[in-house]
């Protein structure tokens, strides 16, 4: 954030600049989407578009009344900055973000125009009128368009490969030599502006110096690798030359031996050699046949190994099932033991209940016997009483 300025709007976008040499290609300034903000300088009463990637300011563009934008696709917008002598491009992820950016751009332009009119009014009309001709901005179709004139259905992701026509080289110089769009500037404002430009130029030169250092180191490394490869290839060529000379000498020696053998009339030796050659050929054929048989046997053994593996897999399955059955058996035995214990408990309870029933039956029998005796006694007493009453009445 720059001293004296406050952000009024912030969004994210991919930042591009036009190639300053060819004026035909977009150069990506940021590897990924970065913050792009509108700042309002309350002291100078100007709006700026500023974007910072890390510690490097990649956009520092002051909005002037005559500055225009061009919407080249649904998600890409560009504008020319005469003071920075470049063209900036922004690629957004959504069309709504681009619309918000354009709205803030128009508001900032209107504010700059009102500020210029206010300065003119204060100066009593002595300030020359700033021409209000739209800037020509290079676009992808080869024509210069003003605000909102270009509509191309291209996504901002392809903006890195856009071929832009070169703008008139004198255009920026002509405009920069004209009057300032913001009216007369004070000495402090001019110094601050020049200081900002020097800071940006210093940051760009530092980045270029680092880039050149990396490129120089890369070239040195490539040179070292090429030198090593050249030395290795030279050594290989010398080695091949030595081997070729040795082969030539051996060839000449063999030729001399053959000529010597032919001149000496060693036909018998030649026949022996031919016979030995035929025997060796037969041996080779026999070995080939044996090798084929071995290959077949090897294939058969491999098939047997596969069959054994399948059996092993089946045996493992059977073993697993046996282990499962064994576990089930142990579980059933445990349950049988538990049920037997429960059965013994039930039988004990049953015997105890039977004994109690027998005891109750014995007690009931004794009670019945006592009742019978008592009943007989009552009958006897009743009979004796009846006889006494009869005698008394008589």
Q: What are the residue ranges spanned by the domains of the chain?
A: 5-183, 186-265
131-135, 177-181, 343-347: which is most confident? 343-347
Residue 77 has pLDDT above 80, yes or no: yes
Helix (H) or strand (E) holding 168: none
Averaged pLDDT score across all residues of the chain: 78
Please give the pLDDT value at position 5.
55
Domain 5-183, what architecture? Roll (2.30)
Collect all residues with Cβ–Cβ distance below 8 Å to 60 and sequence separation of at least 6. Answer: 48, 49, 50, 84, 196, 200
Model confidence over 358-391: pLDDT tens digits? Answer: 999 999 999 999 999 999 999 999 998 888 778 7
Please give the pLDDT value at position 264.
65
In 3D space, the residue among 79, 69, 87, 77 whose CA is nearest the CA of residue 14 turns out to be 77
> How large is the average pLDDT for residues 8-29?
91
Residue 22 has pLDDT above 90, yes or no: no
Residue 172 has pLDDT above 70, yes or no: no
Residue 130 has pLDDT above 50, yes or no: no
Cα separation, 268 vs 272, whole angstroms: 6
> How large is the average pLDDT for residues 10-33?
90
Cα separation, 37 vs 32, whole angstroms: 16
SS3 232: helix
Model confidence over 226-255: pLDDT tens digits? Answer: 888 788 778 788 888 888 888 888 888 888
Please give the pLDDT value at position 56.
87
Confidence of residue 149 (pLDDT cuts 50, 70, 90): very low
Residue 199 has pLDDT above 60, yes or no: yes
63-77, 152-166, 169-183, 267-281: which is most confident? 63-77
Q: Distance between terminal CA atoms of the chain? A: 150
Cα separation, 248 vs 120, whole angstroms: 98
Per-residue b or e along 96-105, where b marks 16 or more CB atoms closer than 10 Å to that residue's CB: ebbeebeebb
Residue 160 has pLDDT above 60, yes or no: no
Cα separation, 244 vs 227, whole angstroms: 25
């Amino acid at each position: 954030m720059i001293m004296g300025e406050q952000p009024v709007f912030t969004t994210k976008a991919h930042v591009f600049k036009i190639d300053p040499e060819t004026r035909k290609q977009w150069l990506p300034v940021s590897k990924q989407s970065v913050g792009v903000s509108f700042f309002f300088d309350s002291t100078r009463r100007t709006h700026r578009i500023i974007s910072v990637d890390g510690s490097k300011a990649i956009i520092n563009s002051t909005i002037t009344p005559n500055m225009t934008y061009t919407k080249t696709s649904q998600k890409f917008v560009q504008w020319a900055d005469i003071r920075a002598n470049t063209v900036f491009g922004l690629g957004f992820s959504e069309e709504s973000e681009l619309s918000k950016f354009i709205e803030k751009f128009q508001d900032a332009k209107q504010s700059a125009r009102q500020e210029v009119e206010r300065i003119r009014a204060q100066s009593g009309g002595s300030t020359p009128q700033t021409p209000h001709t739209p800037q020509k901005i290079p676009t992808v179709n080869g024509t210069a368009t003003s605000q909102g004139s270009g509509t191309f259905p291209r996504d901002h992701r392809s903006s890195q490969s856009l071929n832009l026509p070169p703008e008139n080289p004198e255009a920026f110089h002509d405009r920069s030599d004209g009057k300032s769009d913001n009216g007369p500037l004070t000495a402090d404002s001019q110094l601050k502006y020049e200081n900002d430009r020097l800071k940006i130029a210093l940051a760009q030169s530092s980045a270029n110096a680092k880039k050149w250092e990396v490129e120089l180191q890369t070239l040195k490394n490539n040179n070292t690798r090429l030198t090593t490869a050249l030395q290795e290839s030279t050594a290989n060529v010398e080695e091949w030359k030595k081997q070729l000379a040795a082969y030539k000498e051996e060839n000449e020696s063999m030729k001399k031996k053959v000529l010597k053998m032919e001149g000496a009339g060693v036909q018998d030796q030649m026949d022996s050699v031919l016979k030995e050659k035929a025997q060796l050929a037969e041996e080779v054929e026999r070995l080939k046949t044996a090798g084929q048989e071995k290959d077949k046997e090897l294939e058969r053994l491999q098939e047997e190994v596969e069959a054994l593996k399948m059996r092993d897999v089946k045996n493992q399955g059977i073993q697993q099932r046996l282990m499962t059955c064994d576990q089930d058996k142990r579980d059933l035995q445990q349950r049988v033991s538990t049920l037997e214990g429960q059965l013994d408990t039930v039988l004990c309870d049953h015997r105890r209940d039977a004994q109690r029933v027998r005891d109750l039956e014995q007690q009931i029998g004794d009670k019945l016997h006592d009742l019978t005796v008592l009943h007989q006694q009552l009958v006897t007493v009743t009979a004796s009483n009846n006889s006494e009453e009869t005698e008394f009445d008589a």
